[in-house]
Amino acid sequence: MLSVDDVRANPVVHKLVKVADEHLSAQGYTEHGQRHANLVSHIAGNILARLGYAPRTVELAQIAGYLHDIGNVANRQDHATAGATIALNVLLQMGMDPEEAAIVAGAVGNHEERLGEPISPVSAAVIIADKSDVHRTRVRNPNPALFDIHDRVNDAAQHSFVRIDPERRLVILELTIDQAKASVVDYFEIFLSRMLFIRKSAQFLGCGFQLFINRTQML
Ligand SMILES: [Fe+2]
Ligand SMILES: [Fe+2]
């Protein structure tokens, strides 16, 4: 069975993740490379593991999490759909079971709120992991005077943690924001739709969603 380590070690996959990030960098987007891919992979797997899903389902979430932004090699706007096609091709070529590859492709293809929906536990976990990744290390604009709101909010985010409470069936996002750099209102201006997408995905997993910013419950 194809493992997440096999996928991560594949030179074609590695190159696609790298070039996808370079294409976003050229358009001024925050970091979407190895750091983001590995983090989303890790968190997506952890969400399903903590909620008691089977180890293979956890591993599929890790694979989908690693591959989810690979479609940015083609185009930012349709990167989820492009990514699903690319992921399916790569995984089938690597010999993955077609049903598993289809689950991963569906998760990749549905991870953006504009065109996507949580359609499986793997998909829901990838959405939650992806949409909760806000952190100052993602900012690459070197000049704070030229920060846009995404740069400012990411720069202000000192800490972001997805906590799973299996007993209470809760997905809890804990953020620490430096309010000298961005306000909570700034945060909601760009992240409200993402928060609602996380909540929808938590509901798909039979969980409630809570958001804490600087220890205050916001949702
Ligand atoms: Fe994405
Ligand atoms: Fe992403």
Residues with Cβ within 8 Å of 128's Cβ and at least 6 positions away in sequence, in order, are 43, 44, 47, 162, 171, 198, 201, 202
Instruction: Give, as residue ranges, everything with CB less than 5 Å from ion ligand 2.
Output: 69, 130
CATH number of the structural domain spanning residue 108:
1.10.3210.10
From ligand 1's centre to the CA of 167, what distance in Å?
30
Residues with Cβ within 8 Å of 39's Cβ and at least 6 positions away in sequence, in order, are 129, 133
pLDDT digit string (tens) for 53-103?
A: 999 999 999 999 999 999 999 999 999 999 999 999 999 999 999 999 999
Q: Is the pTM of this model over 0.85?
A: yes
* Residues 182 and 188 sit within 8 Å (Cβ to Cβ): no
From ligand 2's centre to the CA of 93, what distance in Å?
24
Domains in the chain, number: 1
Residue 197 binned pLDDT confidence (cut-offs 50, 70, 90): very high
Task: Give residue 106's domain range.
Answer: 4-217
From ligand 2's centre to the CA of 148, what distance in Å?
19
Residues with Cβ within 8 Å of 77's Cβ and at least 6 positions away in sequence, in order, are none
Q: Cα separation of 45 and 4, whole Å?
A: 10
Residues with Cβ within 8 Å of 181's Cβ and at least 6 positions away in sequence, in order, are 152, 155, 156
Task: Give me the percent of the chain exceeding a pLDDT of 90.
Answer: 84
Q: Cα separation of 127 and 194, whole Å?
A: 9
Tokens standing for residue 198: 């996380």
Candidates 22, 80, 33, 48; CA nearest to 201 is: 48
Ligand minimally distant from the alpha carbon of residue 113: 1
